[in-house]
Amino acid sequence: MQLVIDTKGKDWNIKMELFQKIVKRIILAVFSLFVIVTITFFLMNLIPGDPFMSEKANAEAQAILRAKYGLDQPVIVQYGRYLSNLFQGDMGNSYVLQKGRAIREIVTESFAVSMQLGIRALCTAIFVGIPFGCIAGLWKDKKPDGVIRVISAIGISVPGYVVAAILMLILGVQLKLFPISYNKPGGSIMPIITLALYPTCYLIRLTRASILEVLNQDYLRTERAKGMSEFVVIFIHALKNSLIPIITYLGPLTASVLTGGFVAESVFNVPGLGRYFVSAISSRDYTLIMGTTIFYAALIITMNLVCDILYQIVDPRIKMD
């Protein structure tokens, strides 16, 4: 009987093993998410103040509002109620930033916008970053390498808000090439540049370093010695193996770019998710803080899982655990 199973093929066993690992990871992911929800909930309640503070509000009215939303209860009771609502798929309504609107609606709506922008920024980063990184790596210490290195060093060190401000001032106000607000024609170009600049430059450096390391490997020397064409050596063998660190970076990058950038979105009025990560906290919009945190955590966990699965395919020696 055992022989029969074996004849079904080793491939099947490996797939089963992979499947089990994935299931295990998913269970682990749900647990991590629960831990994140718990920590965020209690930390959030430690910050002084509440969603109803404002310059002109009076204490009595604030007490009414706190009672209405149950914020006058002990934190542990609020936590219990939040969890039970969450399991029923109810993330509550926003208290401040979009008063009265359902969190689920806000997050899905604004994520759609951030994602549209993010995918374009991501494509820009990948299609510009990786090729230029290759060029820099293959022509190490030559002219193109020098130019690319200087530009990418600048791109990495200039903070996003400076990039956004410079773009806005030069392209928007002085030259009037692009409109400042996202909802005008061509309005997505400046936010895409702002979002894509850092990951592009980072990818250039990463690809370059990775290629250089692979080029020094013995097996490439062996291939060359055996007379394989330079094209096959570099494009088939070297590039493939230099992809691993890039994939590691692409996972979290995708998650962070897709959820939008605080700077790009608030400067160019993009109605995306990115600006909520900061503004929800500063305005103590509790339900929105939880909503964005859960969403972002789930996305990061998923992207990391996808990366791990990709590793398995690129290099089965890497253990998933």
Partner 1 sequence: MKKKLLSAMLCTVMVAGMLSGCGSSAGTETAAETTAAEGTTAEGTTASADGLSFAVCGGSEDAMVLDTARAGTLEGLSACRHLYEGLYKLDQEGNTVLGQAASVDISEDGLTYTFTLRDDITWSDGQPVVAGDFVYGWQYLKESAGDYCDLLSMISTSEATDDKTLVVTLAYPCSYLPSVLAFPSAYPVRQDIVEANGDAYATDPDKAVYNGAYAATEWTHQESVVMTARDDYYDAANITAKEITWQLMTETSTMLASFQSGDIIYSDSYPEEGVLTGLQFASGYNTYCALFNVGENGPEVLKDANVRKALSLAIDRNRLVSIRNLDDEVANTYAPGGLTDESGKEFNSTVTPWYSTDEADYEANCEEAKALLAEAGYADGEGFPALSYIVNNDGRREIAEAVISDWKEVLGIDTVTVEIVDSFFAQRQEQDYDIAYFGWYMDYPDVSNMMYTFVSGASDSGYANEEYDAAYNAATATADTAEQWTNYAKCEELLAAEAPVAPLFHSQNSYLFNSDSYDGLVYYCGNFYFGYVTEK
Determine which residue in the list 180, 209, 228, 305 makes contact with partner 1, applying CB under 8 A: 180
Asked if 75 is part of the footprint of partner 1 (rule: CB under 8 A), the reply reads: no
Asked if 259 is part of the footprint of partner 1 (rule: CB under 8 A), the reply reads: no
Q: Hey, CA dihedral for 19, 24, 25, 26, is it positive or negative?
A: positive
The beta strand positions in 244-307, using DSSP E, are none
Q: Which helix (H) or strand (E) holds 138?
A: helix 103-138
Choose between 32 and 248: whose C-beta lies nearer to partner 1: 248
Determine which residue in the list 76, 162, 282, 318 makes contact with partner 1, applying CB under 8 A: 282
Determine which residue in the list 5, 30, 43, 47 makes contact with partner 1, applying CB under 8 A: 47
> Cα(296)–Cα(255) distance, rounded to whole angstroms?
8
Q: 96, 23, 76, 67: which is closest to 291 by C-alpha?
A: 96
For residue 256, the minimal CB distance to partner 1 (Å) is: 16
Determine which residue in the list 18, 33, 44, 97 makes contact with partner 1, applying CB under 8 A: 97
> Cα(285)–Cα(98) distance, rounded to whole angstroms?
9
Determine which residue in the list 27, 64, 77, 154 makes contact with partner 1, applying CB under 8 A: 64
Asked if 157 is part of the footprint of partner 1 (rule: CB under 8 A), the reply reads: no
Choose between 259 and 283: whose C-beta lies nearer to partner 1: 283
Asked if 158 is part of the footprint of partner 1 (rule: CB under 8 A), the reply reads: no
Asked if 37 is part of the footprint of partner 1 (rule: CB under 8 A), the reply reads: no
Residues with Cβ within 8 Å of residue 154, at least 6 apart in sequence: 201
Q: Which two tokens stand for residue 124?
A: 């820009």
For residue 35, the minimal CB distance to partner 1 (Å) is: 25
Choose between 151 and 228: whose C-beta lies nearer to partner 1: 228
Asked if 291 is part of the footprint of partner 1 (rule: CB under 8 A), the reply reads: no
Choose between 156 and 247: whose C-beta lies nearer to partner 1: 247
Q: Which two tokens stand for residue 55?
A: 């310059």
Determine which residue in the list 23, 30, 75, 123 makes contact with partner 1, applying CB under 8 A: 123
Give the SS3 label for residue 219.
helix
Q: 104, 271, 121: which is closest to 183 by C-alpha?
A: 271
Asked if 266 is part of the footprint of partner 1 (rule: CB under 8 A), the reply reads: yes
Q: 200, 201, 193: which is closest to 168 by C-alpha?
A: 193
Asked if 38 is part of the footprint of partner 1 (rule: CB under 8 A), the reply reads: no
H helix runs in 139-242, sequence order: 143-157, 160-167, 189-215, 218-225, 230-231, 239-241
Tell me how many degrees the CA angle 10-238-143 measures, rounded to the nearest 5: 165
Q: Which helix (H) or strand (E) holds 183?
A: none
Q: Which residues bind partner 1 (CB under 8 A)?
A: 47-50, 53-62, 64-65, 68, 93, 96-102, 106, 109-110, 116, 119-120, 122-123, 126, 165, 168-169, 172-173, 176, 179-188, 236, 240, 266-269, 271-272, 275, 279, 282-284, 310, 313-314, 316
